[in-house]
């Protein structure tokens, strides 16, 4: 979620002459201020990377003038303290300082230098995700007698994430529901098992990756967020030429050809079943399929079955008539409207009383970059460059529909994110990653839309900020 930019922040980002200030608040784990350091920063950098486990990091050197300031257990700066960094720009007209919160950090490394003149402290900070990755706690403490921790199939993703956060003493969070493209809630699609030594971050990542377009991170106020990545056409423009033209110094176009793939195949889980009805034991009546699954006397939740049709079937709603009439849907909640003869299909019965269409014996999806405006268009001069993904995390993909969604996302990462540009700019302190922006490359007249992937912000008066922007292509266009 984008932070709200004030008019003062916006106006001071357009000033040609700027007086810069840096302030550091020391906080306890309840986010209460225990001390403040202002005006003593020698140098430093705030880095933000949308594709990193720990999104925000900092490195700051500052001078201590307070003789009572100590680095020890119970002192102002220790393992039990956080630092919150603010950058300020003085308004040229009113002299009011526009402060921008740059984030809240755990102190990861600390270096203290003392001489007869000054006391200098250098800190390296990481955002609060470090409390879940194992860097600073986060390893699952208790494993059941089965030897693993379990999130059962059918669990609500939002509730599972909240449970993990509260287990780790986080009370400040904003957790969305896990929604498919049609707005239906996607529950945990399989039993998630985690062995000894797993971190809570590993568990959160597996929950995040159920659908490919979600992100987890800690925001500038130290709140954990689980929400969709802004990949749709209706995302607001956060920075446009009105700001860039006053700040950009230079640009570099960077394309990593090694990483470019414009055709992606995703092979998911291989399913097994004891219940199969072949074409000779399966009949069709109107829009209903009547299989013969010998030995199946009761429809248990998540039971997997298979069948082959004797002829094609097409209808707005196709049902399976076996121990009741139940509609067939895909993983996005859409009705399956056609199935072909002589094809092996698999299904899973769901607690909501419908059959989930899994696809074939192994979940499979393929997607190509067929956007004629893309420089990596499959029918363009470069042809097809294929990537095949399988095993490991992909084995958790249970249906053709989820495999196709993942293939679309992998195209976005492996193809479209390589259509990028790097900018060096006078600092725009309030900019953030995963923002959609408009930018006109230097010397050109066409304005394009980009997503900010990473930012490196200096804390010195004369430092330049580095942006990496990737060309914006909507993952799920609004119809």
pLDDT digits (tens, 9 = 90+) for 420-445: 899 999 999 999 999 999 999 887 88
**Looking at the predicted structure, is the pLDDT value of residue 67 above 70?**
no
Q: Are 284 and 310 in contact (CB under 8 A)?
A: yes
Q: How far is CA 276 from CA 4, 55, 164, 270, 308, in A?
A: 56, 48, 39, 15, 8
The dihedral sign for the CA sequence 431, 435, 436, 442: positive
Residue 414 has pLDDT above 60, yes or no: yes
Say if residues 235 and 175 touch (Cβ distance below 8 Å). Answer: no
Model confidence at 250: pLDDT above 70: yes
Q: What is the pLDDT of residues 177-222, one digit of tens each?
A: 999 877 888 899 888 888 878 899 999 999 998 888 899 999 999 9
Classify the phi-psi angles of 476: left when phi > 0, otherwise alpha if psi is within -120 to 50, otherwise beta: beta
Q: Calculate the average pLDDT of the chain.
A: 87
In three-state secondary structure terms, 228 is strand
The average pLDDT across 246-275 equals 88
Dihedral sign, CA of 298, 302, 308, 312?
Answer: positive
Give 44-64 pLDDT, tens digit per residue. 899 999 988 899 999 988 776
Q: Are strands 288-290 and 319-321 parallel, antiparallel or unpaired?
A: parallel
**pLDDT at residue 479 is higher than 50:** no
- At 324 the pLDDT is 93
Q: Burial, 284: exposed, middle or buried (Cβ in 10 Å; 0-12, 13-18, 19+)? A: middle
459-463 mean pLDDT:
86
Tell me the CA distances in angstroms from 238 to 2, 191, 197, 464, one per residue in order: 8, 40, 41, 20
Mapped onto helix, strand or coil, the DSSP state of residue 57 is: strand
pLDDT at 144: 64
pLDDT > 90? residue 244: yes
CA distance 38 to 25: 8
**What digits encode the pLDDT tens for the residues 136-149?**
778 887 666 666 77
Q: What is the pLDDT of residues 313-340, one digit of tens each?
A: 999 999 999 999 999 999 888 899 999 9
> Residue 419 has what pLDDT?
75
Q: What are phi and psi of 193, to 5 degrees?
A: -115, 135
Q: What is the DSSP string of 167-196?
A: HTT---EEE---B-TTS-B----S-EEEET
369 pLDDT more than 70:
yes
**Helix ranges (DSSP H) in 135-264:** 157-167, 200-208, 241-244
- pLDDT recorded at residue 366: 95
Quote the tokens at residue 368: 């190509």
Res 17: pLDDT: 85
Give the pLDDT mean for 99-123.
Answer: 77
């Amino acid at each position: 979620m984008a932070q709200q930019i004030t008019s003062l922040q916006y106006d001071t980002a357009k000033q040609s002459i700027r007086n810069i200030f840096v302030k550091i608040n020391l906080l306890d784990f309840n986010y209460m201020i225990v001390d403040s350091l202002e005006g003593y920063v020698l140098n430093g950098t705030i880095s933000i990377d949308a594709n990193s486990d720990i999104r925000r990091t900092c490195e700051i050197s500052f001078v201590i003038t307070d003789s009572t300031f100590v680095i020890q257990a119970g002192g102002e700066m220790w393992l039990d303290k956080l630092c919150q960094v603010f950058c300020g720009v003085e308004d040229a007209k009113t002299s009011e300082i526009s402060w921008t919160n740059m984030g809240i950090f755990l102190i990861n490394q600390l270096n203290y230098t003392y001489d007869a003149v000054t006391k200098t402290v250098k800190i390296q900070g990481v955002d609060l995700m470090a409390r879940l990755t194992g860097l600073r706690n986060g390893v699952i403490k208790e494993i059941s007698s089965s030897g693993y921790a379990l999130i059962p199939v059918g669990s609500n993703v939002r509730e599972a994430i909240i449970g993990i956060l509260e287990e780790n003493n986080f009370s400040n969070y904003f957790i969305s529901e896990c929604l498919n493209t049609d707005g239906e809630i996607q529950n945990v699609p399989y039993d998630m098992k985690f062995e000894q030594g797993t971190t809570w971050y590993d568990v959160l990542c597996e929950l995040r990756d159920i659908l490919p377009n979600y992100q987890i991170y800690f925001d500038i106020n130290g709140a954990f967020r689980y929400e969709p990545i802004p990949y749709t056409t209706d995302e607001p423009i956060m920075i446009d030429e009105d700001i860039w033209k006053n700040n950009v110094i230079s640009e570099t176009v960077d394309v990593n050809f090694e990483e470019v793939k414009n055709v992606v195949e995703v092979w998911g889980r291989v399913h097994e079943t004891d219940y199969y009805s072949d074409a000779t034991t399966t009949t069709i009546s109107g829009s209903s399929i009547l299989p013969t699954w010998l030995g199946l006397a009761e429809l248990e939740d998540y039971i997997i079955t298979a069948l082959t049709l004797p002829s094609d079937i097409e209808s707005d709603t196709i049902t399976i008539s076996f121990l009741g009439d139940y509609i067939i849907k895909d993983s996005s909640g859409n009705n399956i409207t056609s199935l072909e003869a002589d094809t092996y299909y698999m299904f899973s019965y769901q607690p909501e009383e419908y059959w989930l269409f899994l696809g074939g014996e192994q979940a499979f999806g393929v997607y190509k970059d067929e956007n004629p405006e893309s420089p990596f268009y499959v029918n363009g001069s470069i042809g097809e460059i294929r990537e095949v993904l399988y095993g490991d995390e992909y084995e958790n993909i249970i249906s053709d529909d989820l495999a196709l969604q993942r293939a679309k996302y992998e195209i976005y990462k492996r193809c479209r994110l390589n259509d990028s540009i790097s900018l060096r700019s006078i600092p725009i302190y309030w900019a953030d990653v995963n923002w959609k922006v408009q930018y006109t490359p230097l010397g050109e007249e066409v304005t394009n839309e980009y997503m900010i992937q990473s930012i490196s912000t200096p804390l010195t008066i004369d430092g330049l900020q580095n942006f990496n922007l990737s060309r914006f292509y909507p993952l799920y266009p609004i119809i």
